[in-house]
Structure 1
Amino acid sequence: MRFADELKNAVTPRAALLVLGALALQLLFITSYVGALHHPEPRDVKVAVVAPGGAAEKFTEQLRKLPGSPLDPRVSDSEAAARDDMLNRDIDAALLVDPKGGTSDTLLVASGQGGSETRALEQVFTGVAKSQQRTVTFEDVAPASAKDANGLSSFYLVVGWCVGGYLCAAILAISAGARPANGKRAAIRLGVMALYAVVSGLLGAVIAGPVLNALPGSVLGLWGLGALTVFAVGALTLALQGIFGVVGIGLAILIIVIAGNPSAGGAFPGPMLPGFWQAIGPALPPGAATWVARSIAYFKGNSITGPLLVLTAWAVVSSALTLAVASRVKSSRAGADNEPGGATEVRSARTPLG
């Protein structure tokens, strides 16, 4: 055969399209990760100001006018209220202006929500204090574990759960076809996915918690989060495979890995990300799960209802789509079999006569 013929047989049009799709995913991966993480800087970080008398408004206005708008300051009634707001994750930091009228202030930070944000805040407020001939000390009200460098363990745990979710769904597709033949088989796949999610969620929580001591907090809480995260990602992948075939695996990678991971607030928390990634992060499984994992580990399980609802929505909608698409595939096949010259008629024609 000529080389052109060999090439035509070796690289089919379908294979060529899949290669082009892989190239597109590669370029999107580079664009998303470099775009989100190449120049982190604080933007509209929520900071409370506690000051004696009417000084709070003055300090708040000064912080609001900082170049680049790194802070989103607001007045807090008391130190106790500011501390509660931090533990509830309503704010990221709190400036306690010297109550005695002196020049020694305190900034409350929470490294459990990400070491990069804490360092950025310390840098900003050190500069502000220096420009006003004041001094500032720092107090960590929700410190990251000594074995959780930069508060990244929760993010890496979530990444592992997400990888397990879409890999398990992809293996089911490779071994038995991307599109389940009927609703029962789709339900079986979802059942397998749920069992895998429960087991992998538990093992991930145990490894990150008791085994490595990387994350404090409730192992049961992390187990539940892991099971929900793995199932949500796996169900999403099954749904996309049911709709688009093997291309659905690539679409799942696009949503979870390319869009979800850099916007999850892992390496750099949300206020350190550019606007686009800051906006999409909380709505995607990696971002929602990372927020909950950090809340369980460092913030007494506060402020997790919204992110858990996000994960639940992904799981429920994806499961419903998986079942609906499988039922439609079965109906389409049944209709084709019953048409004149369809599969049933062809099988009958090939059956030997008695």
Structure 2
Amino acid sequence: MASAEDGAKSPGFAAEFKDAVTLRAFALVLGGLLVQLAFVVSYVGAFHSPTPHRIPVAVVAPQQASAKIVAQLDALAGAPVEATAAPSAAAARQWVLTRKADAAFLFDATGAQDTLLVASAGGPSVSQTAAQIAQKIETSQKRQITVTDIRPPNAGDGRGMTSFYLVLGWVIGGYLTATIMGMAAGSRPANRQRTVIRLAVLALYAAVSGAAGAAVVGPVFDALDGHFWALSGIGALVVLASAATALALQTLLGLLGTGVVILLFVVLGNPSSGGVYPAPLLPSFWSAIGQLLPPGAGTTLVRNTVYFSGHAVTQALWVLAAYAVGGTVLAWAASWRNERRSAAAAGETETPSQPLPAG
């Protein structure tokens, strides 16, 4: 005798498929595919063919030769260099150390042995590219050039990439922590009080994360040693900028907000940050946006603090502060909007129906 289970009719493949692959699931898979393609396009687009564009170079030469050399450098095909006459070798050296220039060309008026000053701690790839350009020009002019690195990376910093990896870890930690907190009790905070609590927790996490990162690159690995407190403060600001922005976007947009965070910080922010190739070697789009996003601003802030005595960091500080403050304000405002919507929806549900008139 057939059992009741045997007699039960299967819903069929089409019904099972419709139940398993909902419109929401399809949209999520499609979103994942688009993020994946954007990731590939962004990284390949930024790194597939690094080409120098307007590398700032200071030129030191006698007055009668200076203008000619500047004009020749500016006229190079593809505009790889943006030359500016400097009043003296000491001034040109200072320009490199304060990040006004990436290299300095010192013309030898009494001989044929010129000098190129670079600071590879600000980006080895730019220093190498500037040296290659100078050597090619000097060879064509039957002159020789000596490349002098006046600010190389620390011995423990290898290729000068520690700043980028440190900031990358801070940024990822910030938005992941904000995302985890949102997932723990729904992606949208129910009220402003809960948002304030989460922001306070994220601020505490940012302080701890900043100090931990500074300890890893300093005392632990001796890569960026001697700047523990400065790096701790920078790390706290980077983490808070990332976390507050993530919390705001997730509160405002729900699950879509997480995708926007990944798009901004990972897909666009990492390849444009200057960690692998600084701005003068990136295509125009990535070069333009790099310092306007936390990964780029954070990398510049760390590098220039450790290697260049804190010069040229004002924009980076403003960018990170804008994300931290803006994210905080937007998260609170979005939670207030959600709170009002929830209250309005609850009010509509609880409104009693009007009695029918007696007839």
Q: Write out aligned runs for 1:228-307 (5 A).
A: 228-307=237-316
Partner residue, 2:32: 22
- TM-superposed CA distance for 1:248, in Å, is 0.8
- TM-superposed CA distance for 1:87, in Å, is 1.4
Partner residue, 2:81: 71
Q: Write out aligned runs for 1:1-354 (5 A).
A: 1-99=11-109, 101-339=110-348, 341-342=349-350
For residues 192 and 68 of structure 1, what CA distance do their matches in structure 2 show?
50
For 1:147-203, what per-residue CA distance to the aligned partner results, in whole angstroms no more than 9, with x for missing partners?
Answer: 212211100101000110110011011111111011010111111111111111110
Counterpart secondary structure, 1:261: coil
For residues 8 and 189 of structure 1, what CA distance do their matches in structure 2 show?
38
1:126 partner letter: Q
1:80 partner letter: A
Q: Is the 8 A contact 1:216 1:298 kept in 2?
A: no
Unaligned runs of 5+ in 2: 1-10, 354-359
- How many residues align? The count is 343
For residues 195 and 223 of structure 2, what CA distance do their matches in structure 1 show?
37
Counterpart secondary structure, 2:78: coil
Q: Is the 8 A contact 1:165 1:234 kept in 2?
A: yes
Spell out structure 1 runs of 4+ moving beyond 3 A: none
For residues 54 and 161 of structure 2, what CA distance do their matches in structure 1 show?
22
For residues 155 and 14 of structure 2, what CA distance do their matches in structure 1 show?
61
For residues 339 and 63 of structure 2, what CA distance do their matches in structure 1 show?
72
Counterpart secondary structure, 1:267: coil
Q: Indicate the percent of aligned positions where both proteins have the same amino acid.
A: 48
Partner residue, 1:351: none
For residues 96 and 41 of structure 1, what CA distance do their matches in structure 2 show?
24
Distance 1:345 1:113, change over 3 A: farther
2:199 partner letter: L
2:152 partner letter: P
Q: Is the 8 A contact 1:116 1:150 kept in 2?
A: no
CA RMSD of aligned residues (A): 1.3
TM-score, normalised to structure 2's length? Answer: 0.93
For residues 104 and 332 of structure 1, what CA distance do their matches in structure 2 show?
73
Unaligned runs of 5+ in 1: 347-354
2:114 partner letter: D
Q: Is the 8 A contact 1:202 1:226 kept in 2?
A: yes
1:41 partner letter: T
Counterpart secondary structure, 1:108: strand
- TM-superposed CA distance for 1:345, in Å, is 6.6
For residues 286 and 174 of structure 1, what CA distance do their matches in structure 2 show?
24
1:221 partner letter: A
For 1:118-160, what per-residue CA distance to the aligned partner results, in whole angstroms no more than 9, with x for missing partners?
Answer: 1111111110110001100011111111221221110010100
For residues 38 and 236 of structure 1, what CA distance do their matches in structure 2 show?
30
